[in-house]
């Protein structure tokens, strides 16, 4: 009887992990839309939800077709003067980075900030608007499109949670 029960458990696990869409945390996640490195990492389900997801250090992430956009939050943009003067990326396309590594220096009208890597990854694209950052919307300042490699992000906040955290 124990063997039959064990066999049924094995079949259940095989069926559970052999498909494409699964309920993870908050809802259905279309795993095929996530980067290949992320398909087995439940925290990426947070990025499947609409809108940006935020980190405590004012970095935001947004899921794209085969990448994740990485940028600085509207709060940080307002702290450096609401007008982006220049963005100096520290990495080129296809370069790798590690958690905490400098990705870009961003200068505003009244100050500057640095964008550090939220986790390890590979740069897959650079925002073409960094050549003319005045045209960037304060809530959409992003620098890179990346493939993220490791489960190092921790908890991500929704826009509402982030707004409460910065008050």
Domain count for the chain, please give it.
1
Other CB atoms within 10 A of residue 10 CB:
10
Average pLDDT over every residue of 5-31: 45
Q: Predicted confidence band at 69 (pLDDT cuts at 50, 70, 90)? A: confident
Average pLDDT over every residue of 129-137: 81
Average pLDDT over every residue of 126-142: 80
Kindly report which listed range (28-32, 79-83, 89-93, 94-98) carries the lowest average pLDDT score: 28-32
Taking the C-alpha atoms of residue 125 and residue 111, their distance in angstroms, rounded to an integer, is 26
Work out the percent of the chain whose per-residue pLDDT is above 70: 63
pLDDT at 101: 93
Query: Is residue 107 predicted with pLDDT exceeding 50?
Result: yes
Taking the C-alpha atoms of residue 79 and residue 76, their distance in angstroms, rounded to an integer, is 5
- By residue range, what is the domain housing residue 57? 2-165
Tell me which long-range contacts 57-64 makes (C-beta under 8 A, separation of at least 24): 57/116, 57/118, 58/113, 58/166, 59/115, 59/116, 59/118, 60/142, 61/118, 61/153, 61/156, 62/142, 63/33, 63/34, 64/145
Work out the percent of the chain whose per-residue pLDDT is above 90: 13
Kindly report which listed range (27-31, 103-107, 126-130, 149-153) carries the lowest average pLDDT score: 27-31
Residues constituting the chain: 167
Q: What is the CATH number of the domain that holds 103?
A: 2.40.50.100
Summary mean pLDDT of the chain: 73
Query: Is residue 29 predicted with pLDDT exceeding 60?
Result: no
Query: Is residue 42 predicted with pLDDT exceeding 60?
Result: no
Query: Is residue 92 predicted with pLDDT exceeding 80?
Result: yes
């Amino acid at each position: 009887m124990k063997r039959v029960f064990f066999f049924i458990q094995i079949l259940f696990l095989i069926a559970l992990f052999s498909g494409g869409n699964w309920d993870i945390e908050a809802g259905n996640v279309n795993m095929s839309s996530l980067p290949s490195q992320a398909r087995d990492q439940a925290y990426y389900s947070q990025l499947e939800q609409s809108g940006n997801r935020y980190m405590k250090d004012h970095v935001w992430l947004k899921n794209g077709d085969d990448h994740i956009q990485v940028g600085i939050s509207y709060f940080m943009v307002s702290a450096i003067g609401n007008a982006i003067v220049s963005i100096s990326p520290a990495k080129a396309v296809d370069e790798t980075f590690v958690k905490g590594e400098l990705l870009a220096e961003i200068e505003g009208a009244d100050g500057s900030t640095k964008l550090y890597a939220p986790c390890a990854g590979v740069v897959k694209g650079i925002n073409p608007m960094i050549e003319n950052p005045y045209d960037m919307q304060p809530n959409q300042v992003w620098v890179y499109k990346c493939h993220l490699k490791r489960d190092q992000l921790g908890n991500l906040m929704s826009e509402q949670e982030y707004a409460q955290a910065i008050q």
